[in-house]
Structure 1
Amino acid sequence: MLRRPRSRAPDEDQLRPTALRLLAQREHSQQELRAKLSQRGFARAAIDQTIEALCEAGWQSDARYAASYLRARLARGYGLLAITAELRARGVQPNDIHTALTEESPDWHSCAAEQLRRHFGQPLTAELRKKAYRHLIQRGFRHEEAIAALDSLTEDD
């Protein structure tokens, strides 16, 4: 949603309540929160200070954001490569990504197979098998996971 530019800068005493309101709606990475607050016209130094205070108080956590994001993307049928790339693009540090993946420890082969069942749900012809493979690769699954999922779908039928 595009916002009209403000005619004056917002009051700095509104920074913390605005940040908390954003965090109450859903988890945000530090980078996302910084961008949203910056769009609202708050000063960079004040934003950094506020985000640091929110992290110390436990209101904002990139590790918690990574875990939440991972669960949401798994539910939508995305693979490891896509999820990690998206988290990196959102400014989440690799150690937070690794922690989230370790705690969740998804079975990527079964996730890929489930995505195929949901998306195709029928016996796969040779042409449809190629399409299914491309679908899984575009969703961020690795080659081995895509092949295993295709084989499991063929074996079940």
Structure 2
Amino acid sequence: AFIALLTPEEQKSTLRAGLQAVDLGASPGGWTWQLVSRGMRVSCIDNGPMAPQVHATGLIEHLRVDGFTWKPRKTVEWMVCDMIEQPARIAPLMAEWIIGNRCRRSIFNLKLPMKQRHAELERCIGLIDAKMKAVGIKYTLRIKHLYHDREEVTCYLARR
């Protein structure tokens, strides 16, 4: 997803050691592993367990709290989200993280229903756009259907 959705310049400037990140729906730790392997410190938000290898990095804090209500104390560079939830709940949450300055950029998955996938994706784009326009924020939204999962798309959202 980082390679497919970010420019080489964005990858170089935002995927580096020392930055703070949040992983909503973190268990078992796939996204967290991608972040800590780049030297980032990650707050893992999930009621489920994290893989032992991810804990062993010493770069995570695992919080068993609700990903819809938890908020970081200060702005983080990255928020990734792979919560198993209706896309119409995830899309506005991602916009709220950007609008509320909780994160500078996010990558998230929208798990689309078997029927009406395109219509649901358009609905989610509209939900994000409406929230961002309501507060006058210009943003970048990139969406890719990655090869490994037919039922979801992966999105990148950042303030411009």
Give TM-score, length-normalised by structure 1: 0.25
**Greater helix share, structure number:** 1
TM-score by length of 2: 0.24
Q: Which has the larger radius of gyration?
A: 1
Larger % of strand: which? 2
